């Protein structure tokens, strides 16, 4: 059982009953870095997504991070709705593995709103600011997160591809800048190493392991975060973990799996048979497809059995 000093853990000892609530990501990522595996961050979009990811983490006894972009936050009617849904689900589904609820690519205002709403982890993406401004804003948020017991992810070097309408080209972060941000006391650091969000183009050059190696040498024990986990070949994932990556973000791959499975159900005319139009039936194949994807990723990342 994972009993850390993480904020938000609620332990209700009614006989044998132990209830878990959200935890920050610090302890799970420290363990991952030491144990040479990575914890998956899977982005959520709705109830089905969240349920599929939580049930899979529980089945595999794996820690998990639920990622919420600001766009997905709006879609799900705001951060408070999400906190309520996730906490309710942890209790309702009897989830006991460590779960962090994490803002993905947050703005300064978005970070403040999530802290207020009860998220247990925040990413402040100041990568588009000049490094001095990134540092100043990151410092402010570190102080607040420390006081409230949240974990904080910072980013250096824009991650390419499209995220909520923001398009970047896969840069490589400057290892010295990574060290500067790591030394501020962030919990985890996302650094661009040629990775991009969404599907990788045919002419993609692959991850820059030289950059990752240089960053890891300068940042030591800091858990490093690999964004754009969709479509990175398994051997590159393993090498990235060997070089200090302890958190890997996956979003698009679950979306592709979900939509392909729901499309198949509709194309086979199953919604036209009996009560096949019931939304719980229409979405069920999509939920199973997300579970399979999450299972594959957790197995590849090595987090199975690490809760
Ligand atoms: P993908 O959509 O490429 O899997 O990236 C997810 C991500 O990095 C979220 O921050």
Taking only the tens place, the pLDDT of each residue in 132-156 is 898 999 999 999 999 999 999 999 8
Nearest CA to ligand 1 atom 5: 228
Q: Name the residue at shortest CA distance from atom 9 of ligand 1.
A: 249
Q: What are the DSSP E strand ranges found in 107-214? A: 121-124, 151-156, 161-163, 166-168, 188-191
Query: Catalytic one among 104, 109, 183, 235?
Result: 104
* Known catalytic membership, residue 242: no
Report pLDDT for 203.
86
pLDDT at 8: 43
Distance of CA 139 to the CA centre of its chain: 22
For ligand 1, the distance from its centroid to the CA atom of residue 187, given in whole angstroms, is 19
- Assign 44 to helix, strand or coil: coil
Q: How far is the CA of 162 from the centre of ligand 1 (A)?
A: 9
The best mutation among 25, 39, 43 to test binding of ligand 1, ranked by most ligand atoms within 8 Å of the C-beta, falls on: 43
Q: State how far the Cα of 288 lies from the Cα of 147, in Å rounded to an integer.
A: 39
Stretches in the chain below the pLDDT threshold 70: 1-19, 160-169
Three-class SS state of 138: helix
Q: What is the pTM of this model?
A: 0.92
Report which of 146, 71, 77 is spatially closest to residue 115, judged by C-alpha positions.
146
Cα 232 to Cα 268: distance, rounded to the nearest angstrom: 31
Cα(10) to centroid of ligand 1, in Å? 30
**Percentages helix, strand, coil for the chain, rounded to the nearest 5?**
45, 20, 35
Q: How many residues does the chain have?
A: 307
CB neighbourhood size of 165 (10 A): 6
Please give all residues whose beta carbon lies within 6 A of any atom in ligand 1, as ranges.
43, 67, 104-105, 197-198, 227-230, 249-253
Question: pLDDT tens, 79-102?
Answer: 999 999 999 999 999 999 999 999
Atom of ligand 1 nearest to the CA of 252: 2
Q: Which atom of ligand 1 is nearest to the CA of 226?
A: 8
Q: How many angstroms does the Cα of residue 135 sit away from the middle of ligand 1? A: 24
Structure tokens at 297: 């990723």
SS3 307: coil
């Amino acid at each position: 059982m994972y009993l850390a000093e993480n904020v938000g853990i609620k332990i209700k000892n009614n006989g044998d009953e132990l209830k878990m609530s959200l935890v920050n990501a610090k302890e799970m990522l420290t363990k991952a870095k030491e144990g040479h595996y990575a914890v998956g961050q899977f982005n959520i979009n709705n109830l089905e997504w969240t349920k599929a990811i939580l049930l899979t983490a529980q089945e595999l006894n794996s820690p998990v991070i639920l990622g919420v972009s600001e766009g997905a936050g709006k879609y799900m009617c705001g951060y408070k709705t999400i906190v309520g849904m996730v906490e309710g689900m942890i209790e309702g589904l009897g989830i006991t593995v460590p779960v962090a609820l994490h803002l993905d690519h947050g703005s300064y205002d978005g970070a403040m709103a999530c802290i207020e709403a009860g998220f247990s982890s925040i990413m402040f993406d100041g990568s588009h600011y000049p490094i001095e401004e990134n540092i100043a804003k990151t410092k402010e948020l570190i102080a607040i997160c420390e006081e409230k017991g949240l974990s904080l992810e910072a980013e250096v070097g824009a991650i390419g591809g499209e995220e909520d309408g923001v398009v970047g080209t896969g840069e490589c972060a400057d290892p010295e800048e990574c060290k500067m941000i790591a030394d501020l006391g962030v919990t985890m650091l996302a650094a661009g190493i040629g990775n991009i969000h969404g599907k990788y183009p045919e002419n993609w050059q692959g991850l820059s392991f030289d950059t990752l190696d240089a960053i890891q040498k300068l940042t030591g024990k800091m858990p490093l975060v690999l964004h754009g986990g969709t479509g990175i070949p398994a051997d590159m994932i393993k090498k990235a973990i060997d070089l200090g990556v302890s958190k890997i973000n996956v979003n698009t791959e679950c979306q592709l799996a979900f939509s392909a499975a729901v499309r198949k159900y509709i194309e086979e005319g199953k919604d036209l048979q009996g009560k096949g139009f019931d939304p719980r039936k229409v979405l069920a194949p999509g939920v199973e497809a997300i579970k399979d994807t999450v299972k594959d990723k957790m197995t590849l990342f090595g987090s199975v059995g690490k809760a």
